[in-house]
Amino acid sequence: MSTIEQTAVNSGAGASHNTAMPSRSESWLPTLLSVIAGMVDVIGFLSLGIFTAHVTGNIVVVGALIVRHNRVHPAQILAIPVFILAVAVTWLIARASGRRGTGLMQPLLLIQFLLIACVLIFSVITKPSGDPHSPMATIAAMIAVSAMGCQFALLRLTLPVAPSTAVMTGNLTNAVLGLMDLISRTLPLESDNRRLTGALHLLVGFFVGCVLATAALMYLGDWAWSLPAALAAVAVALS
């Protein structure tokens, strides 16, 4: 093989390797956002009575309550259109900004931070956890749902290939499939490790967020929202 041919082969291999390597954003952002999602979901569920990051969970609960003729939490019904609206507004903001890809990351992360900070301020002032069915609790829950809608849209707009940071069923599936591929060696070892470790990071991050949020609620009450707000601020700073 000539020197020119060898150089071309090496360049092609290097380009392929670089393309396969995840960027810094792909490495840290989904994990950090999974911790935030776990915190927001648990605080919302325990103090406000709804899933703020799992629209599917609210649909299941509402359907079951209607069939059994039980009282339906108004926030559980409103969460679905509010989530849709939050995703649509995030898309409109992204389009209006004129940015694309990772260039959208910081402004959208800033919006998520501001929404979670609003939940914190509103909760500290109105104490909605005292009555999860009150109008104040519904307002707080809808702000939190909007923050999660922004997070979902943020990932799809900036890192389209990134896995979900709140729906752990898919990540658990990826972890099991990555483990099976690693055991059978049906795919290259590097690909197996990346799939498995990526899914595990999200699963562990979400679980850690849930545990920390539960502890924060026990000791901080409505101030527990300060934890996801602080991490959202860290995400803005790192971006």
Predicted pLDDT at 78: 87
Predicted pLDDT at 12: 44
Within 13 Å of residue 143, how many CA atoms lie on the same side as its CB? 22
Which residues, other chains included, contact 30 with Cβ-Cβ below 8 Å and sequence gap of 6+? 155, 159, 162, 163, 165, 198, 201, 202
Predicted pLDDT at 195: 63
The Cα 175–Cα 193 span in angstroms is 10
Q: What is the pTM of this model?
A: 0.77
Place of tokens 């960027």: 23
**Domains annotated on the chain, with CATH:** 28-238 (1.20.1250)
pLDDT digits (tens, 9 = 90+) for 47-102: 888 888 777 777 777 777 777 666 667 777 888 899 999 999 999 998 888 777 66
Which residues, other chains included, contact 35 with Cβ-Cβ below 8 Å and sequence gap of 6+? 205, 206, 208, 209, 212, 231
Which residues, other chains included, contact 174 with Cβ-Cβ below 8 Å and sequence gap of 6+? 163, 195, 196, 198, 199
Predicted pLDDT at 6: 47
Predicted pLDDT at 147: 94
User: Could you say which residues of the chain have pLDDT below 70?
Assistant: 1-27, 68-72, 101-102, 160-164, 166, 168-172, 174, 178, 185-196, 198
